[in-house]
Amino acid sequence: MQKLYFFIFIILGLTMFSCKTESPFSGLTATDYHSFAEPNKAVVKHMDLNLEVNFDEKIILGTVNYRIKNFGSPQIILDVKGLNIKKVEVDKQKVPFSFTDIDPIKGQGLIIPITDKSSQILVEYSTIYGQSDALLWIEKEQTLGKKYPFLFTQGQAILSRTWFPCQDSPGIRATYKAKIKVPKGMLAVMSANNPTEVSADGVYFFSMLKPVPAYLIALSAGELAFKPLSNRVGVYAEPEILEEAANEFSDTELMVQAAEALYGDYAWGRYDLLVLPPSFPFGGMENPMLTFVTPTIIAGDKSLTSLIAHELAHSWSGNTVTNATWNDFWLNEGFTVYFERRIMEKLYGKPYADMLAELGYQDLIKTIGELANTPKDTHLKLNLKDRDPDEGLTDIAYEKGYFFLRVIESAVGREKFDQFVNQYFEDFAYRSISTEDFLIYLKNELPEFSFEKNKVNEWVYGAGLPVNAIIVNSSNFRNVEKKLSGFLKHNDLSFIEETQKWSSHEWLHFIRKLPFDIQVNQLEILDSTFNFTASRNNEILAIWFEKAIYADYRKVDKALETFLIKVGRRKFLIPLYQALIDTDRVEEAKKIYKEARKGYHAVSTATIDAMLLEE
């Protein structure tokens, strides 16, 4: 069966895609274990969402109209989870529908009978409060303005199916339009062209006419205001932080220009940012045309904006060329980290980019250590069958992916590598590809790059970090270590003046390098000199709190509690709760979590529940 469909798809692929016709690649031939959809039998090509956001009941309800392509199948399957399906129509006729068995991770397949001639289906449904994991409903009291509640969706990896029925595989792309009704006075925005002003009736229209996978369809609504940063870049935020956000992100247009100079024109029209409440579980989410970002990167000095470069880079790697399955996640993230650091190097110089790379290297080594018992999770090509793909969201995809691309860059030279990457983005535009597709392409396009000599097999299908990884050596960090060593030995703080010029990366490195058994009185001296506990920079706060917990420096306790209750970004939460567990402060951790949990998104609570509640 599979082979036959594979063959059919190659033929279809040649006519459906506008890229090089001799290309044999199609991510749609890869098996996605995380979706019930059978795109090689019947596939969704376009969706029209007609939805109402009901904040009183905390549900989204309405209809989705799908334009489909049937390759001769008697049925089409959509992914659903935590949804109440009310009615299904095929070509405007009501039809009976059924479901597959429930899978605890994937949810269910919604099976709709179709004929050879069917071209349109419609599903009427509503979400179910407490079961639609993509949605975070934020009470008005938890917003800055306190006048309106707030909602945002998070689709990656397989959560879009919890807020609308869809073929929820990164290998399946569709265009979409939407009509969204929200309470009057609120602004709705999506990963599409967006309004900049509040409408009188609370109704908004959207369209995304480039095909995107379902995980990139996103919606947010709240009391939002817009400020342009250039003629194609702008920022949406709650009015209270709009100015601050606009200042922090004022280099975004320069970033877009730097990115275009590297890897070709920005293809999506506008590039806007949406600043979410602090409960957003990630740093950023690369929703097309509208990156969702955490307010925790607003540090007042633009020092954490490499995250914007990262989300922007996803406009090429991830959104234009997409991983075919979540096992190929490194194709999205490894390329994006590489691209992000090239943007930062172009804008702020090599020493700056070197610091980012060395911090990334530290993260990678730490992650490889943490995954010592499951070494297969350190392969670039993952095997997430029967697991939540969220488990693949580790630094391996990001940093091992980055260091693998550095190996190719260093072997063939930057100029050649840049040509290769440019061509790669062009040849695979609006397609989803697998790791194997990439490797064949690499072999064809850069024949001088030896797979054997460069240990490609070890990088992709092997554990840990191969010996030919590039060594990054940040001269700024060597200087920081010298100063730290003087302090640790004899409390030497004569470098205070120099630290005026330190970026937050130097500070991060300084604090990361503090030994875990550092004496409390030394932490006290550092705190009273540099005010870490009162820092506005959340990256610094998070690592400082972690060190303080392990060293039993209790003066941070109040600030730590406030931080854990306010911030829902999972990357910060995991090490802090872990530190409390490791230091026999589980009860205290549970108490804080009890209070904080209602403000976290399901992506974060799934992880922290497993750490604290399921013993």
Binding mask 496-515 for Zn ion (x = CB under 5 A): --------------------
* Burial profile 423-458: b = 16 or more Cβ within 10 angstroms, e = fewer: ebbebbbbbbbbbbbbeebbeeebeebeeeebbbeb
The set of catalytic residues is: 311, 398
**Burial of 50 (C-beta count, 10 Å sphere; 0-12/13-18/19+):** middle
Q: Report the C-alpha gap between 615 and 600 in whole angstroms.
A: 21
Task: Match 């009188």 to its residue by tokens.
Answer: 200
Q: Report the C-alpha gap between 278 and 293 in whole angstroms.
A: 9
Residue placing its CB nearer to Zn ion in the complex, 181 or 406: 406
Residue placing its CB nearer to Zn ion in the complex, 292 or 510: 292
Give the pair of three-digit tokens for residue 11: 């033929």
Among positions 68-97, residues that touch Zn ion (CB under 5 A) are none
427: part of which helix (H) or strand (E)? helix 414-427
Helix then strand count (H, E) for the chain reads 19, 21
3 state DSSP class of 83: strand
User: Could you tell me the CA-to-CA distances from 328 to 158, 160, 525 in Å, in that order?
Assistant: 14, 19, 47
Residue placing its CB nearer to Zn ion in the complex, 309 or 589: 309
Shortest CB 580 distance to Zn ion, Å: 28
Residue placing its CB nearer to Zn ion in the complex, 73 or 287: 287
Residue placing its CB nearer to Zn ion in the complex, 335 or 553: 335
Residue placing its CB nearer to Zn ion in the complex, 440 or 574: 574
Shortest CB 314 distance to Zn ion, Å: 6
- Tell me the chain's radius of gyration from C-alpha atoms: 24
- Is residue 508 within 8 Å of residue 546, measured between CB atoms? no
Residue placing its CB nearer to Zn ion in the complex, 333 or 377: 333
Shortest CB 273 distance to Zn ion, Å: 15
Shortest CB 336 distance to Zn ion, Å: 5
Shortest CB 493 distance to Zn ion, Å: 38
Amino acid at 411: A
Shortest CB 398 distance to Zn ion, Å: 7
How many Cα neighbours within 13 Å face the side chain of 86?
10
Shortest CB 265 distance to Zn ion, Å: 21
Binding mask 285-324 for Zn ion (x = CB under 5 A): ----------------------------------------
Give the long-range contacts of residues 253-259, CB within 8 A, separation 24 or more: 253/229, 254/347, 255/305, 255/308, 255/309, 255/312, 255/343, 255/347, 256/232, 256/312, 258/343, 258/346, 258/347, 259/309, 259/312, 259/313, 259/315, 259/316, 259/339, 259/343
Residue placing its CB nearer to Zn ion in the complex, 438 or 577: 438
Q: Report the C-alpha gap between 166 and 109 in whole angstroms.
A: 10
Give the long-range contacts of residues 23-27, CB within 8 A, separation 24 or more: 23/427, 25/428, 25/431, 25/433, 25/437, 25/440, 25/441, 26/431, 26/433, 26/437, 27/170, 27/171, 27/322, 27/323, 27/324, 27/325, 27/431, 27/432, 27/433, 27/434, 27/437
Give the pair of three-digit tokens for residue 160: 């879009």
Residue placing its CB nearer to Zn ion in the complex, 333 or 390: 333
**Burial of 559 (C-beta count, 10 Å sphere; 0-12/13-18/19+):** middle
Shortest CB 307 distance to Zn ion, Å: 9
Shortest CB 301 distance to Zn ion, Å: 23
Q: Report the C-alpha gap between 62 and 122 in whole angstroms.
A: 10
Binding mask 319-358 for Zn ion (x = CB under 5 A): --------------x--x----------------------
526: part of which helix (H) or strand (E)? helix 520-530
Residue placing its CB nearer to Zn ion in the complex, 345 or 395: 395
Q: Report the C-alpha gap between 546 and 560 in whole angstroms.
A: 9
CA neighbor of 288 nearest in space, from 385, 156, 433, 417: 156
Helix extents (H) in 121-208: none
Strand stretches in 329-487, DSSP E:
431-433
CA neighbor of 153 nearest in space, from 243, 10, 51: 51
Shortest CB 8 distance to Zn ion, Å: 33
Residue placing its CB nearer to Zn ion in the complex, 202 or 334: 334
CA neighbor of 274 nearest in space, from 244, 258, 295, 299: 295
Shortest CB 66 distance to Zn ion, Å: 28
Binding site for Zn ion (CB under 5 A): 333, 336
